[in-house]
């Protein structure tokens, strides 16, 4: 069996060696331009069109959780990957615990008013503020898939009411589940901290806009861990200005790296990280890929297959 590998920024040698160790019976090679030799599977991130075009592959693995980039490539290059070649993505592979750490630390930061205390500190003011109540700190998670449901579970032990919104209803112990566009309004009503973990699809682009933000609780907080295009930046800035939204923590942006003149950089109530909420971890990712390939080869059912029409 042959596997070709392409990632624009990962250390290919490291990955190839680790893949060979995990699958000693497989020939793994880094794909380079002009390599038209046959392969069974391709492991990719932002692949050149010619890497996949015309190949008869048994499967393609995206080396991340989100497949918006490769689906975007397929929509502009329809011949890049035949419709019957399955596309897979990474499910969790260590990203769940990273998202949990990110979300829990930031929710606690806001809940214990560290943002307010930092602002007071900058004015050299010694002042004790009123405590917030857990009951006033409902956390609502947009997207209750692999990562959203892990984040939801991690917030429960801290005593916050937790709810999620997804395409279909979920049964997650202790978490209130809302489903579909018709229940979005109820989900938003009373949500104090909004965490976004939706995939980027035509249905979810621009979802976090003025209308949605207006339905949140007063002095709410927004955390975007999914994709920048979910948030209408001008609407978020306006909601911060009006006080409707008290703070935002953003990991992802419509344009990355965030341009130097973007007003989010200087906003005192916006914190940000450079798309690091969850990294692809080689050991876990390779375990998932090798396990999935073994099952595919045995003709067994696997998870992680992308529904190309649905967009995630």
Ligand X SMILES: O=C(O)[C@H](O)CO
Span of 64-72, 110-118, 128-136, 233-241 interacting with ligand X by CB under 6 A: 64-72
Walk across the sheet containing 162-166 and list its strands.
Answer: 176-179, 162-166, 139-142, 193-196, 220-224, 245-250, 270-272
Shortest distance, CB of residue 300 to ligand NAD, whole angstroms? 20
**Catalytic residue chosen out of the listed positions 20, 113, 219, 275:** 275
Residue 51 and residue 80: Cα distance in Å, rounded? 8
Size of the site for ligand X (CB under 6 A): 4
Among 51, 52, 65, 271, indicate the residue that binds ligand X (CB under 6 A): 65
Residue nearest to ligand NAD (CB): 145
Q: Does 228 engage in binding with ligand X (CB under 6 A)?
A: no
Q: 173 to each of 110, 124, 150, 154, 176, how far by Cα in Å?
A: 25, 44, 12, 12, 8
From the list ligand NAD, ligand X, none, partner contacted by residue 308 (C-beta under 5 to 8 A by kind): none
Other C-beta atoms lying within 10 Å of the C-beta of residue 83: 9
Residues 235-294 that bind ligand X (CB under 6 A): 280
> Which three-class secondary structure state does DSSP give residue 246?
strand
Smallest distance from ligand NAD to CB 2, Å:
28
Q: What are the C-alpha distances in Å from 133 to residues 11, 69, 265, 268? A: 47, 41, 30, 24
Of 89, 163, 227, 230, the catalytic one is 227
First vs last C-alpha separation in the chain: 28
* Residue 280 burial class via C-beta count within 10 angstroms: exposed 0-12, middle 13-18, buried 19 and up: middle
Report the C-alpha gap between 143 and 226 in whole angstroms.
Answer: 9
State whether residue 231 is helix, strand or coil: strand
In the complex, the residues that contact ligand NAD under the rule CB under 6 A are 65-66, 95, 143-148, 166-167, 197-201, 203-204, 225-227, 251-252, 275, 277-278, 312
Q: How far is the CB of 159 from ligand X (least distance, A)?
A: 29
Question: Which range of residues in 63-71, 103-111, 171-179, 286-294 is near ligand X by CB under 6 A?
Answer: 63-71
Three-state SS at 153:
helix
C-beta closer to ligand NAD: residue 3 or 90 = 90
- Of 26 and 156, CB closest to ligand NAD: 156
- The only residue of 48, 66, 86, 311 in contact with ligand X, by rule CB under 6 A: 66
Pick 143 or 161: Cβ nearer ligand NAD = 143
Residue 109 bears catalytic tag: no
- Alpha-carbon distance of 207 to 221, in angstroms, equals 16
Told to check if 64 binds ligand X by CB under 6 A, we report: yes
The verdict on 190 binding ligand X (CB under 6 A) reads no
Residue closest to ligand X when measured from CB atoms: 64
Residue closer to ligand NAD by CB (options 18, 226) is: 226
- How is residue 137 written in tokens? 């700190």
66, 90, 185 from 63: Cα distances, Å: 9, 6, 34
* Nearest to ligand NAD of 59, 143 (CB atom): 143
> Rounded to whole angstroms, how far apart are CA atoms 35 and 54?
12
Note if 275 is an active site residue. yes
The structure tokens listed for 46 are 């932002």
Q: State the catalytic residues.
A: 227, 275
Q: Site residues (CB under 6 A) for ligand X?
A: 64-66, 280
């Amino acid at each position: 069996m042959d596997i070709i590998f392409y990632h624009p920024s990962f250390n290919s040698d490291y990955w190839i060696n680790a893949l060979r160790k995990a699958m000693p019976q497989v020939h793994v090679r880094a794909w380079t331009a002009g390599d038209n030799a046959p392969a069974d599977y391709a492991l990719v991130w932002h692949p050149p069109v010619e890497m996949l075009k015309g190949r008869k592959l048994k499967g393609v693995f995206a080396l991340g959780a989100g497949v918006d980039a490769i689906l975007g490539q397929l929509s502009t290059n329809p011949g890049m990957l035949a419709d019957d070649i399955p596309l897979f993505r990474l499910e969790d592979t260590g990203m769940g615990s990273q998202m949990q750490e990110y979300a829990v630390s930031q929710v606690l930061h806001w809940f214990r008013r560290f943002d307010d205390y930092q602002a007071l500190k900058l004015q050299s003011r010694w002042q004790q503020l009123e405590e917030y109540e857990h009951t006033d700190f409902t956390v609502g998670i947009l997207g209750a898939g692999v990562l959203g449901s892990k984040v939801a579970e991690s917030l429960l032990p801290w005593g916050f009411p937790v709810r999620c919104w997804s395409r279909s209803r979920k049964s997650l112990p202790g978490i209130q589940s809302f489903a579909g566009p018709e229940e979005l309004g109820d989900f938003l009503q009373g949500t104090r901290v909004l965490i976004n973990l939706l995939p980027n699809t035509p249905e979810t682009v621009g979802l976090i806009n003025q209308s949605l933000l207006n339905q949140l609780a007063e002095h709410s907080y927004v955390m975007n861990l999914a994709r920048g295009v979910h948030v209408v930046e001008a609407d978020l800035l306006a909601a911060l200005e009006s006080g409707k939204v008290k703070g935002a923590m953003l990991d992802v942006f419509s344009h990355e790296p965030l341009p130097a003149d973007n007003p989010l950089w200087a906003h005192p109530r916006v914190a940000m990280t450079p798309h690091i909420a969850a990294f692809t971890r080689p050991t876990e990712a390779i375990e998932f890929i090798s396990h999935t390939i073994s099952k595919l080869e045995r003709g067994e059912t696997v998870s992680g297959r992308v529904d190309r029409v649905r967009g995630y």
